[in-house]
Each structure stands twice: as structure tokens, then as C-alpha cells.
Structure 1
Amino acid sequence: MLAVNKKKAAAQDAAKPAAKSTAKPAGKTSSRETTRSSGSRASTRARHSYRPVVEKPSATPAPAPSPSPIAAVEQRNAISLPDEPQPNWRTYDITSQITINQVKGKLRLWLPLAQYKDTPWQRSLGHFWRGNFDSAGIYRDPVADMEVFYADWKEGSPTPQLQINSQVAKLDRHFDITRRGSAAERSEVLRRCLQSSNLVPIDGLVRRTAERAIGRIKDPVAQGKAIYDWVVENTSFDPAQSGIGRGDVEAMLDSGQLSGKSADIALLFVGLCRSIGIPARPVFGLRVDSSRLFSGLGATGNLRAVQHCRAEFYTPGYGWIPVDPGDVRKAIHDEHLGNGDAKLVVLRKLLFGFWEMNWIAYNAAQDVSLRGASGGGLLPFLVLPQAEAAGVRFDSTDIQRFGYTVNASRVEG
């Protein structure tokens, strides 16, 4: 039986999203809500209330409401810094549709959602979903600050189908070196952001490389800038890599082949920072709109393959500073920019301390364990939907078996 869950979004005023209707759960408790095909109702207050509704069966998920299409945005080259700050929040409706073919046995699916904790540059306003699943809901991993949607299908179910709609509000994110006094980060968060992961060691060659990059620099902001510059100057963008890359920093440095995609380049920056005692983390997400800088740094239409990884590092007094060395290298590749090109000089300066609002942050999780999974081991990160049937993990890039589309529209008004 077709089941629908709704998570209502807060109203917005002209300047920013309105406050949320219910309080967040206290501490590090996880919230979970499950809807079953029998029509039983369960509601757990978390960020918003969930209200399951039973509808008549349908062979395919009903189409989502059609928001206003993304307005045309003038494509500009990064020859000058964009105006700051942007005066208004921009809200996006994001629709993901998944169909999985050739399933044998019971199936479970996981899909990363936008970061659930509000920041000065992003707010998750709500989700609702529908499909022919037997149960579905959301769980949170408070350690990774990650929210994940899951759905289950029994053995013998018809072709699994799912549609989930999310609404997220965005602002451009700017770092201003003249402004100090940001709130201190929790010590347990900083400790996690100094640790190694399976693919990102922080000793040996990684540490020696970072020490060469910073030289005698002592100031942590200047050290972060020196590492950013080193990564930009010594890596290259490789479009042949699948997805956003593997993020295997040790293999990159051992081979001397410092090429890859955004996860490879961002995680190299993160590993170098951590190795010299600077807390740093990758932030995985999805491009949802065109860019004001270069066309290759944005996306429209079907967004199934435009995931992107950025990074940030922490310094006392300033807090988290955003960087995006991967997009510098992508622009160099796409636009054939030379080292002395004025556009590159501006872009390189800009992306140390700036994240454009055309990208939705999902999480900063590494070495991810999927709740309820029976096989497949740890994932280096979670940015694509994952599925498992009869204990075997699907390849989410296999478009014949894993039908996955994502579209985004601006919410006007």
C-alpha cells in the first residue's frame, strides 16, 4: 500500500527562514520515525512532526508538486569577487526519485539528507516521502552530524520505488579575517577532526608533506592558507575518476599522482591539516544550481552525478573557515586557466573562505557504518544512495539496476 510521510517546512519571511515549529531533541539522542504499510501511525517529535497518511495503492510514486523553475542566472567568469553579503536566503525544493531493478530478497535503502543542524549559511526545512516500501523513516548519527533516510521492502515486493522531497534554505558563506570572536567548538568535535580515518592517515608522508608546505609559519590561519595553496598548486582535476573520487590520501601521496576529483583534493587538504594539529573536516554535498563564478562550478537539470566535496578547518577565534581547493582545480581544467590568469588569481583568493550557495551540505562523515546493514563494511563517506538486498550491497552508479534522479527548483517569494 502506498504510504506517505510528511515533514512540514517552517514558513519563511522575505529575509530569512522562519524559526522552526518544534524544538530539536536534546543532547545526542537519535530520533526515528517509521511508517508501515498496515497504516499504523507513529509520530516522534524531533525537528518537525511527522504525519503518516495512507493513500490508495498506486503503481508508481505520485509526482511531486512542481515548484517554480530555476530562474536563469547570468554565467560569469570569476574575474571579480561576488557582491557580499547576499541580502536574502534562497530556498530550494529538491526531489529525489529512486527505482531499483532486479532485486532478490528483502531490500534496504539509505539516502543521505541535508545537514539537520542549522548553520548561519544553511537550514534544513523539512522532508516528505512516498513509495511502495513496507517501512521508512529517518535516523540521525549525532557523532557524524548526519541524517539518513532509510526504507525497507519485503522479499517478493514489486519493483521498489521511492520519492523524497526536501526543502533547504541557503546563503553564501563568507569568512572575514577582520572579525574574531566566534563561539568555540566543542572539544569532542575538535578531537574527532584531528583523527585519522581508513583512507586519510595523519603521520608519515602526510605529516612530512604538511610540514614542508607550512615551513616556519606559526599562525594557524596562515598555516591553513599555506596548505590550501600547496594543494591547489600540486594537484590536478581528473574527470576520468568515478563519482567524486575515492579520497585515498595515502595512495595519492605514495604514488606521487596527486590527481582526482573533489573528495580526493578536499581530503588531501583535510589530512595535511590534521597531521600538524589543525582540526579539519570534509563536507560532502550536492550542487543544486548554476554558479555565478564559472558554469562548471554549478549544475542544473538532472543532478544525480553532481555531488561535490568541500572542506573547512578550525582556528581559535575564527571558528570554521571554509575552503574549496577542488573547485579551483576543476575551473583550471574546465577553463584552461594558466597560472598567471587573472581569473584564476581571483578564484583562488575567493575559494579560501567562501562557499557559494548553489550547493547543499549533507554531512562530514568518514568511515560510515550504515544502520541495519548486514554486509558491505564501512563506506569512506556517504554522498550517494546505498542499497542492500540479501546481504549484498548494490553499486549505486549502476544506472541499469539503480535508477536515481535528482532535481532542484528555487522556491520563489
Structure 2
Amino acid sequence: MTLDRRRCLRGVAAGTVSLLTPLWLRAQPTTPTAAHRPPMWAADAPWRAWTLTTTVEVRDPGRETQVWLPLPSLSTPWQQTVTHTFQTQGEARLRADGRYGAQMLHVRFARDERRPTVTLTTTVRTRDRASPWASPVARTAPALTAAERRFWLAPTEWLPTDGIVRKTALEAVGSARSDRARAERIYDWVVRNAWREPTTRGCGPGDIRTMLETGNLGGKCADINALFVGLCRSAGLPARDVYGVRVAPSAFGYRQLGAPSEQLSGAQHCRAEVWLEGAGWCAMDPADVTKVMRHEFLDWIRDPRDPRVEPVRQALFGGWEGNWVGWNMAHDLDLPGARGPRLPFLMYPVAEVDGERLDSYSPNDFRYRIVAARA
């Protein structure tokens, strides 16, 4: 099957999402409030536990019906998985891809199963993530091994590091020399030149070469944060996307930075990390800066230095809020047992019927529901 690159998310099964942000989500104050201040995310922030319950139903099964559900695959100072449990009529196995270690629940259903369903329940702990330079005492991180550095600098099909990508990265970096200065130049270039495009399906395909070649830098998180990651790698900074889902409203004062309710279908969001010498893996999220610029206020803010945006621009260079659960860091993923095309990433539930990948937004074929609650 030949797919247009910008339509690749047809191969990712997802629930229905609104293409336009409701007005009530945009009707925020047009001047900064006390809530719109850079958060003091601390290195010893308290943990919060969440229970995520994903229920999938394939409404029109065939002779061969399969489902893949992403699992939290990260064990880090800011996220820990506690338990996984599941219920299904099918044959279920916990699987992982061999390159990135992305974990998933893979379910095969019998030919005579008329209503294949699976319910996955995961308990995970998260906490806010501080920027390493927020403390008066700088943290010294152990160096990456040579193999790790090569791995997180390597190009992928969807993250090329040559041609227009490298040319753009070098122009963005300019004369900056330190790791942090180069990362900040790229971060600022992305939030200044890319924009949140509400008509993009899902989280976007992350096809950064096409974005740069066409000059169309509009998209969503998988486009904008992939652009940041690709530019960082092209400039010699190890970087990676982290795919996940928002689980709660934001305490930062921006409605767009959280899940509006406990029902999370459509709350998928990817973030990014970059390795900075002496600081280690640092949290980044330029895509959420552009989301605040486009949707938080009644007007579309074009300047990331606008006082209404400046707090979030500063905070998301180096920090994350712990109202989000990361699934994995996998790119260009071949699902075990799948007959459909390779995925650019695994952030949504995926289903196949008789080898055909179901349309992300076809509720007659495939639907799912994700609900989060404090554990």
C-alpha cells in the first residue's frame, strides 16, 4: 500500500477529535494574570499517581482482527509505571519493539468473535520536571556513551538530518557555541516560525522535510516538536520525541496545557527532550508554546515574546508539568504481527482488520475511550 507521507496518520487508530477549539477554551484574559507566571518546578516535586483505563471496541471485525495499545514504557526520575492489568476475549501479549523498547499490549481475536473488546488499566506515577539550571547549584549529568550519542543523533525516515533540515538548523543556531545556547536558538526559531494549525488531523504526521520544503510550518505537536528534534540532531545535539497523553488540567494557569476532563480520547500530546552537556536530558515543548499562542486567548498571538506567552515560553524550555504520561520515544515503528504500514510513532491505539489498518477517525469501524483518575 502506498501512502502519501502527510496522510500517514490514517494508519494510526484514534478517537474523534474536534478540529476547532471551542470558544470557551479560547476566552481567556487578554492580559497576564497572577496565574500566568513561570512555575517554580522543583527537582524534588511530589509524585502523583494516575490510573488510566483504555477501552477499545472494534465494531466491524473480520477473519483476522488485531489491536495494539501503547503502554507507559519509561522509567525516569519524573515517571514510574506501577501496574498493568487487562481484560479481553482475545489472546493478549505484552510486546516491545526491538529498537526503542516501546511497550504495548497486542491482542488477537478469534475469527468468530463478533464484538472484539479490550480494557487496559495502567497505574503510573508522574511529577513536575524542573529545568536543570533552575537550581543555584548546577547539576552535572553523566555523559552519554558514544553509542547513545550516535543513536539519538541518527536520522530516521521521518526525522532526516541532511539537506534543508541541516541548512535550517545551522541558520537557526548561528554563532551560538554552547549546547544550551544552540538549543535555545533552535527552540526560539521554532516558536517564532511554526504555528499551531487546528485543521491538522490528530497530532500531525511529523514530516519535517515536507514542512520545510513547502514552507508550511503549521501543524500540531508531532509536527512542531519533531521539527525541534530534527533541527537539534542536525546541529549535533542529541534529541528525541516523547509520545504520550495529557491526564489532568494544568495548574500553570493556561487551559490549553491540560486535559479539559477525565475523558482523554483526543488528549494525546508529544513532548521533546534534548541532551545538553553538563545538564543531561532536558525537557522541551515548543509545540505547547504555539498552542497557547493560537488558542489560549481570543486573538491569535503571533509574537512568542508577548507578555501573555512569555511565561510559558520560558517554562517549557527545560521544564514539564507532571499532568502528562509518556508512552515511549519510538520512531518509524513496525508493530509486531502487523500487516499494515510502518507507523511514524505509537501514541494512539491501533487496530487492523484482515490486514487493513483502520481509519483513525471512522467511528463506524473503530473507537476507543481513555479515562484518567487520581490513584
- TM class, shorter-chain normalised? 0.7 to 0.9
Q: Which residue of 2 aligns with 1:108?
A: 66
Displacement of 1:98: 0.5
Alignment of 1:402 onto 2:366: yes
Q: Is the 8 A contact 2:249 2:258 kept in 1?
A: yes
Q: Which residue of 2 aligns with 1:118?
A: 75
Q: Which residue of 1 aligns with 2:326?
A: 361
Q: 1:154 aligns with which of 81, 98, 110?
A: 110
1:211-250 per-position Cα deviation (integer Å, ceiling 9, x unaligned): 1111111111110010000000001100110110010001
Q: Is the 8 A contact 1:113 1:362 kept in 2?
A: yes
Q: Is the 8 A contact 1:78 1:343 kept in 2?
A: no
Displacement of 1:189: 2.8
1:160-216 per-position Cα deviation (integer Å, ceiling 9, x unaligned): 011110001001011122523213334333212111111221111111111111111
Shift of the 230–77 alpha-carbon distance from structure 1 to 2, 3 Å rule, reads farther
Q: Which residue of 1 aligns with 2:272?
A: 311
- Max radius of gyration: which structure? 1
Letter in 1 for 2:227: L
Displacement of 1:278: 0.9
For 2:34 and 2:206, the matched residues in 1 are separated by 29
For 1:231 and 1:77, the matched residues in 2 are separated by 27
Displacement of 1:78: 5.4
Q: Which residue of 2 aligns with 1:131?
A: 88
For 2:332 and 2:102, the matched residues in 1 are separated by 12
Displacement of 1:92: 0.3
Where structure 1 has 5 or more consecutive residues not aligned to the other structure, the ranges are: 1-74
RMSD: 1.7
Letter in 2 for 1:205: I
Q: Which residue of 1 aligns with 2:258?
A: 298
Letter in 2 for 1:349: Q
Q: Which residue of 1 aligns with 2:17?
A: none
Displacement of 1:263: 0.5
Please give the secondary structure, in 1, of the residue aligned with 2:99: coil
Q: Is the 8 A contact 1:266 1:325 kept in 2?
A: yes
For 1:236 and 1:192, the matched residues in 2 are separated by 29
Please give the secondary structure, in 1, of the residue aligned with 2:314: helix
Identity %: 36
Q: Which residue of 1 aligns with 2:181?
A: 222
Alignment of 1:164 onto 2:130: no
Q: Which residue of 2 aligns with 1:7?
A: none
Q: Which residue of 2 aligns with 1:347?
A: 312
Letter in 1 for 2:323: N
Alignment of 1:176 onto 2:132: yes
Q: Which residue of 2 aligns with 1:29?
A: none
Q: 2:290 aligns with which of 329, 336, 350?
A: 329
Deviates further, 254-263 or 190-199 = 190-199
Q: TM-score of the superposition, structure 2-length normalised? A: 0.86
Runs of at least 4 residues off by over 4 Å? 75-78
Displacement of 1:359: 0.6
Please give the secondary structure, in 2, of the residue aligned with 1:355: coil
Displacement of 1:264: 0.3
Displacement of 1:87: 4.2
Q: Is the 8 A contact 2:97 2:334 kept in 1?
A: no
Alignment of 1:92 onto 2:25: no
Q: Is the 8 A contact 2:186 2:231 kept in 1?
A: yes
Q: TM-score of the superposition, structure 1-length normalised? A: 0.78
For 1:124 and 1:183, the matched residues in 2 are separated by 24
Q: Is the 8 A contact 1:77 1:343 kept in 2?
A: no
Q: Which residue of 2 aligns with 1:258?
A: 217
Displacement of 1:142: 5.0
Letter in 2 for 1:347: V
Higher relative contact order (CA 8 A, sep 6+): 2
Letter in 1 for 2:105: F
Displacement of 1:79: 2.2
Where structure 2 has 5 or more consecutive residues not aligned to the other structure, the ranges are: 1-28
For 1:218 and 1:90, the matched residues in 2 are separated by 38
Q: Is the 8 A contact 2:58 2:366 kept in 1?
A: yes
Q: Which residue of 2 aligns with 1:281?
A: 240
Q: Which residue of 2 aligns with 1:9?
A: none
Superposition pairs of residues 226-241 of structure 1, within 5 angstroms:
226-241=185-200
Q: Is the 8 A contact 1:266 1:310 kept in 2?
A: yes
